[in-house]
Amino acid sequence: MTLTYDLDQMDIAARHILTNTKSKTLLFYGEMGAGKTTLIRALVRVMGADDSASSPTFSLVNEYHSQKGTIFHFDFYRIASEAEALDIGIEDYFDSDAWKFIEWPQKIDSFIPEKSQKVEISIRNEKSRMLKLY
């Protein structure tokens, strides 16, 4: 499923994902600067969280509470090995019923739950992106 959106239409893209996803574990793929964190920020907002989402690049995981349940936002860009994911208790997070939004999931391939959904973001131009949900 593909959607093209302008950067000022983030909430539309977030609603598209929430309406069409078959999993609470979403894997966000895209080059640096494609807008993964920005899209996750929109998802957290659309889900009715009290807090504004920010990148967990250094903490690896942020937790938010929303009207649709707990959300864990992971960013594995800076990890050097999958062992670092084990150190934060990744298995416990993945065993929970919470929403899980994961940036740079390719860094933790062996821990990715089977029932997850991929969200691929590609840059079309300075102001628009293409989103593929599969």
Local structure of residue 109 (DSSP, 8 states): G
126: phi then psi, degrees, rounded to nearest 5: -55, -30
Helical spans, DSSP H, in the chain: 10-20, 36-46, 82-87, 90-95
Please report, for the chain, the start and end positions of each structural domain, with discontinuous segments joined by +.
Answer: 2-133
Query: From 3.40.50.720, 1.20.1250.20, 3.30.450.20, 3.40.50.300, which CATH number describes the 2-133 domain?
Result: 3.40.50.300
Local structure of residue 76 (DSSP, 8 states): -
| pLDDT one-digit tens code per residue, 55-105 | 776 679 999 999 999 999 999 999 999 999 999 999 999 999 999 999 999
Q: Strand, helix or coil at 37?
A: helix
6: phi then psi, degrees, rounded to nearest 5: -85, 155
| pLDDT one-digit tens code per residue, 10-59 | 999 999 999 999 999 999 999 999 999 999 999 999 999 988 887 776 67
